[in-house]
Amino acid sequence: MSKERNLVLNTKIINETVDTIIDSIYEKTEDYMYKYGNYTESNNEFFYDREEYMIEVINELYNRINK
């Protein structure tokens, strides 16, 4: 396999994996917001709060990975 093709495949694998993980984090965050929070609908407050939670979750993941 050529270096160029290997680089393209590695990039594709990494990007697809990261996209899947981010989608999963969004999905699980929303699930937990409905389960533990006082949310009954996906309104502007919900989406604002979700983005705040996402920032906190990503920061926590970063901290745990870099321990």
Task: Give the residue among 14, 60, 50 at the shortest CA–CA distance from 42.
Answer: 50
> Which residue is associated with the tokens 């270096």?
3
Report which residue type is found at 67: K
The phi and psi torsions of 38 (rounded to 5 degrees) equal -105, 50
| Residue type at position 61 | L
**Positive or negative, the Cα torsion across 23, 29, 34, 38?**
negative
pLDDT for 1: 62
Is this structure's pTM higher than 0.85? no
CB 29 within 8 A of CB 50: yes
**According to the model, what pLDDT value does residue 56 have?**
97
Extents of the domains making up the chain = 3-65
pLDDT block averages, 10 residues each, the chain of length 67 = 81 95 96 92 91 96 95
| pLDDT value of position 37 | 92
